[in-house]
Each structure stands twice: as structure tokens, then as C-alpha cells.
A and B are shown apart, each in its own frame.
Chain A
Amino acid sequence: MAGAEMYPEDLKYHPEHDWARIEGDEAVLGITWWAQDALGELVHFEAPAVGDMAVKDEAYGEVESVKAVSDVISPLSGEILEVNEKAVEEPESINEDPYGEGWLVRIRLSDPTERNDLLDVEAYRVVVAEQ
């Protein structure tokens, strides 16, 4: 199961408990430790198709545990370049390593200014504390 609660400093966060690691004009997306903990052991990641468009603040996929299902909200807009097959094949990797092996998709950013709307780790910790 998952390790201790943790929110890396170098990521940008969305209040729906999603993170983005921005690298140039691309970004890797995933769900936060809080999100995976709230859902419990994940059994399925319903991934988008490569080439689909992720739209900021809208769902691009779903993650499921046995008794719950949750939309995965995109923190940024862009074309899906890659889906993490490991997260599809072994959804428990999302629980075990939400910021590493459990990343979900990689996108090409369509609007680089959107990143200004995202939260830094301090602001996201406030969101978590309010839950």
C-alpha cells in the first residue's frame, strides 16, 4: 500500500487533488497522495486515448476502487501524448507511488498560461487541511 502522506515541492496542484509536473511545453499528470488515500486500493484506471484532448478542470479519465469511482480532473489543457501503461496494468502503482511510477498521462500543453492558475504545494496543503 501507499507510503506516508507527501506532497512534492516541485509540482503544481489542482484543488481536485491532481498534480502536474511541467517540463517545457509538456506536462506529466497524476493524482495526489490525498486522492489515492481517500479512494482506497485502486483496481482500475480508465485511461484516455493517445491523441485525445485533456481540458483544464474537466475529467480526462477515471480511477476506481472496489466501492468508489472518481473522475480524474486535468489541471492543464493539452493533447494526450502518452498513457502510463503501468498505471493501467497495475493500478496499485498509483497508490504505492502516486508521483512516480503511478503517474497517469503526459500531455503537450496547449495554453502555457494556464499554469498560473494552479496551486503551489503550500496552497495545496491548505486545501488538504480543509478536507
Chain B
Amino acid sequence: MELIYEKSQAGRRAGRVPNYGLPVPDVPEALARTSPPRLPELAENEIMRHFTNLADRNFGIDTGFYPLGSCTMKYNPRVNERVSKLPGFAHLHPHQEDEGAQGALELMWELQAILAEVAGLPSVTLQPAAGSQGELTGLMVMRAYFNDRGEGDQRDTIITADTAHGTNPASVTMAGYKLEKVATTERGNLDLDDLRAKVNERTAGLMLTNPSTVGLFDEGIAEVADIFHEQGALLYYDGANLNAIVGRSRPGDMGFDIVHYNLHKTFSQPHGGGGPGGGPVAVRADLEPFLPSPQVVKEGDTFRLERDRPKSIGRVRGFAGPFGVFVRSYAYMRAYGPDLQAMSETAVLNANYLLAELKDDYEVAYDRLCMHEFVLSARALKKEYGITALDIAKRLMDYGVHPPTIYFPLVVPEALMIEPTETEPKERLDAFIAVMKTIAREAAENPELLKGAPHTRPVRRLDEVKAAKEPIVRHAFGERVPTGA
């Protein structure tokens, strides 16, 4: 399909900008644009068609089943879009005086209250832009806490599980900490002996996803918390998998001191082809002074943004956070009310149903009940027929299913990580089971069919080696473009 730049015709245009006939002040010559940017020049009709055609080449939750493990691709109710576009929200300027933003501040206050309740921790900042920024914010809060106690230089290490998302170690580095990894047992729990050997007075804290990235609840979590707290260290809960436990178990009750949420996972902010997200952070009471500035506070019946926070880590992004995301997630929560735990219960039910129906056809990484997601391995299929997790993923496309997450977690060879979420009806799950069984048969009977997949998408398998070797990352307009290679 042509690029929008290739459809461009010089002099054609869509939008008209008001011209009030006022004189335009001179721009100093040294600062003035010398050659115009080559933006597309199309009629509005053609712009609409271009992006409609691009949409046709994309697959969303609205298109079909999207069991992308670890990403919690649940239905995104359209009413959330409607309310986020109310003029009082969409056209509210972030510098509006607090008295002119009472509705926004009230919404944030109420959202914080529910998040605090879900985490079992009292204080929440909504500011972080995404889960990974929430992680970094949490680590900065840890550092500020230890600095405040005079232990900042002493505590220089963060411990993560060997199954952790890549964001955890990356956040550890960005926060200026050293990383130490702890092993997991065959049952998928943290290895307590390994942990006891590694946690000491140099440890600032633990970063853990629970249930873990393999979809299992850590059965030793209470002991894990004790090991860290006895050494004066803190526990950070990566909320990537919070959708498994809302209303069934609370990170604060497990012993975690800091928690981040992914509003785009658990609370249905649409993923938007990559974003936006939201990554609020909750902390125990004595960590509240270190949360980012500003914070929403309530005084009597009015709300305001508190900026005078002397112990705060500072600001991690602009303004008070991604407000439009808050509107959508708060609307999602209010549609459930106190029944929010039904969301997680159903997510766990759906995942276990798929696991039960598929475990005879695929190797399971861990033979126990799962939480909201589970990991299959294509190791046996690879050995017998040369069929990899990638081949299975590509073949699923031909059946109109978005592939699961593959090759993660790294501890499982040929991993397929499947997360159905709570919003799917049983017919969808049954159809997926049937497709997966068919693919397992095809792997044995006609492996070439899988290796050549997908057969029905707008493009066939793409040459990623070529893309990486000589990166072409913008349109060339017929010129030779320097590449990064």
C-alpha cells in the first residue's frame, strides 16, 4: 500500500486555517524556515481513505480474539471514550486554577481511593505515564526513603526474579541501582534459600510480579516479605498481572510497600496501537511524603493540587498525569462497583479453562492451576516436526486470532503465553481451543503449512534482518537516506 507521502500532490490541501487579515510580524531572517517540510498534500477525503485502509490492515480487540499474554487485552467499552470526550474533561487546560478544575480533581481523588482499596495501601500518585514509568517512580521513592533514613549510600541493590519482565532490570539501571537476580523453583515460586543468601543490608528492595510472569501465584510470598522486611528493605509490586487478583488478594496485605498499576491493562484504557497507558503508584503511609509532586488533596469539600512537598522525588512527567486515561479507567471501575472482583475471577476462570482444554495437545510449562494467564511450550513440536512457537503464532493469524506473546518468559523454551481476559464469551474460548488443536494436528501432518504462514494477511513474513541491518526509518522522498548501520 502506498505511503501517504506517495499519494501527495503539490498544492492540494484538506484543512483551512482561519486568517483574520492581521499583519504577520517578521521572523528574524536567521531564525526563519528555509525550506518547507514535505508534509502530505491531500484532500480530506483521501486522508480519510488512507487511514481507513490502514485500519483495515490492522487487528484490534474489536476485530477478534487477542490473547496476548501479559498485556491484558480486554474489551474497551465505548462509553469510556464518550465520557472522556466530554468538553469539561477534553478541553480543560492543565493550568486552569484548582477552583475551575474541581470535577477533574474530584475524579482523580475518587480514582485514587479505589486504587488504594484494590492495593491495600493508603496513598496513591496518579502521575506516571505508564507501568514502566511507575516502576521507575517506585524505585525513586525507595531511594528517597533510604536517603531520608541515612541509608541511601548503603542500599545499592535491587533484587528481581529471573522471570521478570525486561522493564524491571531496565528500571533498576535507570534508577541508578545495581541488579541482582534470584532464581525460581520448579513450581514457579521464588527460591527462598537463594533469596536468604542474597538479601542483606545492601539490599534496597525486591521487584516482583505476583502472579509471576508465568501466571502463577507465589505461594511463599509471606516468607519473601519477611526476608526483606527483616533486613529493612522494601518490596515493590509490579502490577502487570494485577488483573488476576483484584478483590481476591491485595499486594499491601501480601507485604508489598509500593505497587504500580497498569491502567491500560487492568482497567481497560485502550492500548491504542502501543499507548497511551497509565501507571499510578500506591505506597504505605510512611512513604507518602516521597511521592511525586503535585498530589491531589481534599480540604473540606474542595480539592486542590498540592505542590509544596519538600520530601517529594519531584515531577516524573507533565502536569498531574494522563488525565484522559483516568477518566476511562474510573468509568470502567464504576461500571463494576464493589463487584470488581468478578473481573479477576472470570479472568482466572477463562485462563484455566483454556489451560485444561489445551494441556493434552501442548506441553505445559507448569502443571498446576494458573491465574489469569498460562504458558505453553512448543518444545516438543520443535523437536518432532521442527515447528516453533513463531510458526504457531503465524498460523493463528490465518484463523483470525491474534497470536499470544511468544518467547517470553525466557525461562520457558518456545514459550506461548496466553491471556484470554475476562471479557471473552465461552464461544470465543471454544473456537480458540479448536484452532489450537487443529494447529497441533497440522504441525504433525503438514508442517510446511505452518512454516509458510500467515497465508491470509496483507503481507507475508517480513525480513526483520534486513530491517535491522540497514534501517530505513523514514520515507526517502526519492533521495538517498543515511541509515544507522
Contacts and interface: CB of A to CB of B under 8 A. Distances in A.
Interface of A: 41, 43-44, 64-67, 91
A66 B485 CA distance: 13
Given A44-B468, A64-B468, A66-B467, 13 more contacts: A41-B465, A43-B465, A43-B468, A43-B469, A43-B485, A44-B469, A44-B485, A65-B465, A66-B464, A66-B465, A66-B468, A67-B407, A91-B469
A64 B467 CA distance: 13
Contacts of B468: 43-44, 64, 66
16 contacts: A41-B465, A43-B465, A43-B468, A43-B469, A43-B485, A44-B468, A44-B469, A44-B485, A64-B468, A65-B465, A66-B464, A66-B465, A66-B467, A66-B468, A67-B407, A91-B469
Contacts of B485: 43-44
Contacts of B469: 43-44, 91
Contacts of A65: 465
A91 B469 CA distance: 8
B70 to A, nearest CB: 17
Contacts of A67: 407
Interface in B397-423: 407
Interface in B132-168: none
Interface residues of B, number: 7
B304 to A, nearest CB: 48
Interface string B169-186: 000000000000000000
Contacts of B407: 67
Interface string B418-434: 00000000000000000
Nearest to B465: A41
8 closest A-B pairs (Cβ-Cβ)?
A43-B468, A66-B464, A43-B469, A41-B465, A66-B468, A66-B465, A43-B465, A44-B468
Nearest to B468: A43
A107 B480 CA distance: 36
Contacts of A41: 465
A44 B485 CA distance: 7
Contacts of A64: 468
A69 to B, nearest CB: 11
B413 to A, nearest CB: 13
A75 B325 CA distance: 52
A51 to B, nearest CB: 23
Interface in B451-485: 464-465, 467-469, 485
A43 B467 CA distance: 9
Contacts of A66: 464-465, 467-468
A2 to B, nearest CB: 14
A86 to B, nearest CB: 13
A44 B467 CA distance: 12
A9 B469 CA distance: 32
Nearest to B467: A66
A44 to B, nearest CB: 7
Interface in B195-246: none
A67 B467 CA distance: 12
Contacts of B465: 41, 43, 65-66
A71 to B, nearest CB: 15
A63 B205 CA distance: 32
A127 B281 CA distance: 46
B265 to A, nearest CB: 24
Nearest to A89: B485
A94 to B, nearest CB: 12
Nearest to B469: A43
Nearest to B484: A44
In this complex, the member of B407, B464, B467, B469 whose beta carbon has the largest number of chain A beta carbons within 10 angstroms is: B469
Nearest to B470: A43
Nearest to B463: A66
Nearest to A88: B485
Nearest to B466: A43
A65 B469 CA distance: 9
